[in-house]
Amino acid sequence: MSRLILTLSEATADAALTDGTFDEVFLWTGAGRTTFTGSTGPYLHELGAVNPINVDLVRIALAVLAADRSILRVGRGSDWNARDLDLTIDVANADIWTARADELSELIGFLTGDHWSFIFTQAPEAAFPPLAVEGERHGRTVLLSGGADSAVGALLSALDLGAGRSQALVSHYSFTALSPVQRDLVAAIEGLVPGQAQVHHQFHLNRASRRLDGTDFRSETSTRSRSFLFLALGLAVAERANSLLWIPENGFASLNPPLGPDRRGSLSTHTTHPRFLRELSALVTAAGGHGVLENPFEPITKGEMFRRLAAAIGVDEASRYLSATNSCSHTDGRYSGAPAGTACGVCFGCLVRRSAFAASGVPDATTYLVDDTSGRFDEFVRGKSIVEPMRDFVARGVRPRDVMAMSLPEGYRAQDALTLCALGVDELRQVVA
């Protein structure tokens, strides 16, 4: 078992380093000595007086992400997700979270495929009270990652609200090339929906590369908990906005049927899985926080999302807007000489994106490295490609027994999941068959 701690106290961090109780020590301070990047502090003061339960949720999510990134997995195939992680976290409401520790362990275990246990300790009081920021009221709060699904959701939400209203858009990035993509999408929405305020909250919060003692952290590449932090930040903003949080993601990707028998657990992600979202909402609400969220695109494919957008703003405008998004799973193409933020064209995110363009009839103006004829990126593309596993997956299809293994939440009919997966496979067939 690996033992880790996230504390807000330098004294606690130093004591933990000295006695050697923990395998990794994470210190989160608003400025100065810290093991995290970004300007966001552990009390979220820049947002005003956020519900303490939602502040705690952000701390928990950041601790989970730091642990997930710092403890290497062992092995491959279907067994490489079996880590035992014991995590101690400073929170404002230790008793409330201790009473829900087992529920949280099960929820995060479903997300990452690991075995988690949580210990909650009392966080120090903030050195100063939160800023006197009057709570903003928005018609909706929407996660805006820079990917195509979130871009569709943000624009359709804006069109639904109409002029004279406002919405909060929440972005999080660790890879800096995504930051301008997110800002450009906000500008595009402002141009397409004049007379509506787009209030953009852009967070840059991540574990740093070095420990407090100056040595390098280990870096596990299969991280599946990153979007949990995104959700927690979104709920904190939505709490201040007194609004529902939209998590725009096509339902096929949310169900995430395995590509094969060895593509389960940590090789897949459950971040927007219907079960995860429902249980997260219920947990946060029961703890006394703001947990009102939904994925409005849960029943449809990515291609259908693209069709709805094209119907709303026209095919040509949809092509320009969607082609400016980034859905690629890989951010390291720059090390092979590719421009920052370039899409590979052969990862799961790119293949589902390309299939959505094809299925919707919206022209795809995205530049993909797989289409480069110079040969400079051939090795990089080969290393990222899952085209062959996807071809096998499309040929096999999603079977009833696959659906039965999806851990569907109560009320989600297995037949509906099977029908949705069949539609998703049909879209993929246009690209990988």
Q: How confident is residue 268, by pLDDT bands cut at 50, 70 and 90?
A: low
Q: For residue 199, which of 120, 124, 140, 131 has the smallest C-alpha distance?
A: 140
- Tell me which residue of 191, 112, 176, 181 sits closest to 150, measured CA to CA: 181
Ramachandran category for residue 29: left, alpha or beta (phi over 0 → left; psi -120 to 50 → alpha): beta
What is the rounded average pLDDT of the residues 218-239?
93
Average pLDDT, the chain: 92
Strands (E), 149-211: 166-172, 197-203, 206-207
Highest mean pLDDT among 44-53, 256-265, 276-285: 276-285
| Alpha helix ranges (H) inside 333-397 | 348-360, 378-384, 387-396
Instruction: Give pLDDT tens digits for 145-168.
Output: 999 999 999 999 999 999 999 999
Please say whether the beta carbons of 256 and 273 come within 8 A.
Answer: yes
The pLDDT of residue 266 is: 35
Where does the pLDDT of residue 346 fall: very low under 50, low under 70, confident under 90, or very high at 90 and above? very high
Is the model's pLDDT at 267 over the cut of 60?
no
75-94 as b/e, with b when 16 or more CB fall inside 10 Å? Answer: eeebebbebebbbbbbbbbb
d(CA 415, CA 74): 36
CB within 8 A of 207, min separation 6: which ones?
26, 35, 36, 37, 65, 66, 69, 70, 217
Residue 260 has pLDDT above 70, yes or no: no
pLDDT exceeds cutoff 70 at 293: yes
> Is there a contact between 206 and 37 (Cβ–Cβ < 8 Å)?
yes
Sheet holding 24-27, edge to edge: 24-27, 2-7, 84-91, 115-122
- The CATH number of the domain covering residues in 140-294: 3.40.50.620
Q: How far apart are CA 320 and CA 179, in angstroms?
A: 19
User: Residue ranges of the alpha helices (H) in 44-171?
Assistant: 52-70, 94-98, 101-112, 148-161
- pLDDT grade, residue 337 (50/70/90)? confident
- pLDDT higher at 209 or 80: 209
Residue 125 three-state SS: coil
- What confidence score (pLDDT) does residue 75 get? 64
Asked if pLDDT for residue 336 goes beyond 80, the answer is: no
- End-to-end CA, the chain: 43
174-111-81-349 Cα dihedral, nearest 10 degrees? -60
* Calpha distance 197→138 (Å, rounded): 9
DSSP 255-275: H---SSTT--GGGS--TT-HH
Q: Inform me whether the pLDDT recorded for 265 exceeds 60.
A: no
Residue carrying the six token digits 């804006």? 158
**94-103, 122-131, 403-412, range with greatest mean pLDDT:** 94-103
Q: Is the pTM of this model over 0.85?
A: yes
Contact indicator for 194, 26 with CB cutoff of 8 Å: no
Are 246 and 150 in contact by the 8 Å Cβ rule? The answer is no
229 and 194 Cβ atoms separated by less than 8 Å: no
Burial class of residue 35 (count of CB atoms within 10 Å of its CB; 0-12, 13-18, 19+): buried
Residues found in the chain:
433
Question: How far apart, in whole angstroms, are the C-alpha atoms of residue 85 and residue 184?
Answer: 39
Predicted confidence (pLDDT) per residue in 185-203, tens digit:
999 999 999 999 999 999 9
State the pLDDT at residue 135: 60
The string of DSSP codes covering 14-76 is HHHHHHT--SEEEE--SSSS-SEESS--TT-GGG-S--HHHHHHHHHHHHHHHHHHHS---S-
Please state which of the ranges 151-155, 174-178, 270-274 shows the lowest mean pLDDT: 174-178
Q: What would you report as the CA-atom Rg of the chain, rounded to the nearest whole angstrom?
A: 21
Give the model's pLDDT for residue 264: 43
List Cβ neighbours of 257 (8 Å cut-off, separation of 6 or more): 393, 398, 402, 403, 406, 421
Lowest mean pLDDT among 42-46, 177-181, 202-206, 331-335: 331-335
- φ/ψ region of 369 (left if φ > 0, alpha if ψ in -120 to 50, else beta) reads alpha
Give residue 32's pLDDT band: very low, low, confident or very high (50, 70, 90).
confident
Residue 338 phi, psi dihedral angles, 5° rounding:
-80, 150
95 falls in which pLDDT band (50, 70, 90)?
very high
Residue range(s) in the chain whose domain bears CATH number 3.40.50.620 = 140-294
Mean pLDDT in residue range 65-92: 85
